[in-house]
Amino acid sequence: MGDDLRLTPPDGNGSRFADFRDLVERAYRWRWKRPCPWSGAEANQLSRLLKCSPTLDVREFARWLKNYFVSEDYPPGERPSRFLPRIYNYSVDAVDRFSRPAHNGNGKRPPDMVNALDIKKKQLAEARSRGEID
């Protein structure tokens, strides 16, 4: 995906719906190198998003879209009617293929999750290596 995605806000001459739709279509075209499918399903989901998020501005939404499109947890070419209902999942950061945050705030992937069993196994192995247990 060589080129960086730069979603700048529209010029402000259109309606809020048109501005957000423009961002969706531009981001989709950037990611998939083809026109964005748009039907009543997409319009409905975008309308719902805008209705439940009256203070959401285009700059913030552009960041959410970028997080979505650089994430790894969706099928190729997923239609906007499928991802718009989940767009809040990308409001903080991109996610990996398991829908976990792709970064931990410093641009690096978070460490793998460690569970209690892994900790206990490591403690037992260290105790064995010191000769404390058989």
Is 66 strand, coil or helix? helix
Contact present, 60 and 90 (Cβ < 8 Å): no
pLDDT at residue 111, as a whole number: 53
pLDDT at residue 84, as a whole number: 97
Q: Distance (Å, rounded) from C-alpha 48 to C-alpha 25?
A: 17
Contact present, 81 and 47 (Cβ < 8 Å): no
Q: Distance (Å, rounded) from C-alpha 90 to C-alpha 28?
A: 15
Q: Distance (Å, rounded) from C-alpha 52 to C-alpha 46?
A: 10
Name 101's bridge partners: 95
pLDDT at residue 109, as a whole number: 53
Averages of pLDDT over runs of 10 residues in the chain (134 residues) are 56 76 94 95 95 93 92 92 95 84 59 64 86 82
Q: Distance (Å, rounded) from C-alpha 70 to C-alpha 40?
A: 26
pLDDT at residue 21, as a whole number: 96
pLDDT at residue 95, as a whole number: 85
Reading the block at residue 81, the tokens are 């009617």
Give the relative orientation of helices 16-32 and 40-52 as an angle to the nearest 10 degrees.
120
pLDDT at residue 124, as a whole number: 86
